[in-house]
Structure 1
């Protein structure tokens, strides 16, 4: 948590120290640079040498609508928003929960899906927050899932650089519980064929693409492109191919 708070402080200090590319500059170049983690299935991950996942396909579709080519940049999750401030990419799409702390450092587009922090354990294990006292909980660094677990009295937090590492800790018996994205949890339970169970959600959240603070021209285009993809059926097609349902925030205004 301390590391995450320091990173957010650094982001706020960096905001405004350099100029991000405007929409006009991106359009003129013909290519948009997008940052993601590439290690958070099924949202963004590597299959061999190919970057794929729900968010990757969605961002590629948005770029196509905007008439742009895509240059993908991958790096660890806890450095993505810092990389955005350092102008390594024009926007980030990596399942960032929209929180007040992050909103002080970056600007978020309208949510591209809604989810929550889920508890996953071996069959017969903990299924709700009250069960986590004294239990080892595996979670990824720099995430809202880590923040959520740290609020539970008595939970013993085991932090990993990647979400897949946290999942492995659960499967190897090094942790009693994994806490992470609801949809990732459902995939994990399905893949383990009866060995795991998904319990309650610790919290719900909206997930959004992030742009550098004050980059309103790019934010406007992303919001318009997302709305078009959702109204045209493009979003629903991509979503159903991964989740069997449309995971947009239906009640978002």
Structure 2
């Protein structure tokens, strides 16, 4: 009888252990309220994994072997508000949306502008900054005074960016790059490029860092850089919107923006401005 009781106890213990393991597996895949996951799907339990190109200084770039920049710090601040560990990763911009759709990461915080076309593949939060699409040329180039002067010329853009379509409207001679910084640098090499279309923020930052380039005219449009999230994860989108509002309200956002740009990138007069959609 003693052996029978012992076997029965061992059997019950085994069943309870299997049930506990099953529960752990469920929590790893879906998250649970109170452990920082708040019920939304995450690629890694307890971590907020967000992607940027890593070659878009000052928004995301590597320094001393670590990812840093405005986008990276915004992601860290949002993760903190959501009680998650920040886990920034890199992915080439031209395939970053496909990476999100394939659930390689939880979100894109990589200066991706909201567009109706992109919204077919991902959900977007409220904008976390505004920037304008602007033409830049070499500092000694006095021939190109407005975007129309680039018709038929060689224009540099990042592939799959919002700057590609207007470049194609102006010319058939489009040079593709994986980094706006490299494209702007090529403007200073005689005969390589006639112009580059990129963010005004990035162009002005390049000028501040000694690039011999200059802007042409005013921004052609203003785009809304937003956080892209997988369409199957609306809870995470809502949580990010709440966290974004929180870091704006408590001054964290302005502190990060002032650090990298000396101004608040959300402080812009949008009246009468064409928003890219």
Bucket of the pairwise TM-score, normalised by the shorter protein = 0.7 to 0.9
**CA–CA distance in structure 2, aligned partners of residues 251 and 104 of structure 1:** 28
Is 1:51 the counterpart of 2:67? The answer is yes
**CA–CA distance in structure 1, aligned partners of residues 41 and 231 of structure 2:** 17
- Specify the alignment match of 2:224 in structure 1: 206
CA contact (8 A) 1:20 1:212 kept: no
Deviation at 1:134, TM superposition (A): 2.7
- Specify the alignment match of 1:161 in structure 2: 178
Is 1:239 the counterpart of 2:254? The answer is no
- Specify the alignment match of 1:104 in structure 2: 120
Query: Which structure has the larger Rg?
Result: 2
Give the match's secondary structure for 2:254.
Answer: helix
CA contact (8 A) 1:117 1:180 kept: yes
Deviation at 1:151, TM superposition (A): 2.1
Is 1:224 the counterpart of 2:234? The answer is no
Q: Deviations over 1:78-109 (max 9, x none)?
A: 11111111111111111111111101111001
Q: What is the Cα-based RMSD across aligned positions, in Å?
A: 2.2
- Specify the alignment match of 2:152 in structure 1: 134
Is 1:178 the counterpart of 2:193? The answer is no
CA contact (8 A) 1:132 1:155 kept: no
Q: Deviations over 1:209-235 (max 9, x none)?
A: 000114210000000000011111100
- Specify the alignment match of 1:143 in structure 2: 161
Give the match's secondary structure for 1:175.
Answer: coil
Q: Deviations over 1:23-66 (max 9, x none)?
A: 51558932111111111011111113110010101110111111
Unaligned 5+ segments in structure 2 are 1-28, 32-36, 271-277
- Specify the alignment match of 1:70 in structure 2: 86
Give the match's secondary structure for 1:167.
Answer: helix
| Aligned positions, number | 232
Deviation at 1:158, TM superposition (A): 1.1
Question: Whose relative contact order is higher, 1 or 2, with alpha carbons under 8 Å and at least 6 apart?
Answer: 1
Deviation at 1:155, TM superposition (A): 6.0
CA contact (8 A) 1:127 1:198 kept: no
Q: TM-score, normalised by structure 1?
A: 0.85
Unaligned 5+ segments in structure 1 are 1-18
**CA–CA distance in structure 1, aligned partners of residues 123 and 213 of structure 2:** 37
- Specify the alignment match of 1:14 in structure 2: none
**77-86 vs 170-179, which moves further:** 170-179
Flag the 1:99–1:249 CA change in 2: closer, same or farther, 3 A: farther
**CA–CA distance in structure 1, aligned partners of residues 101 and 30 of structure 2:** 8
CA contact (8 A) 2:137 2:195 kept: yes
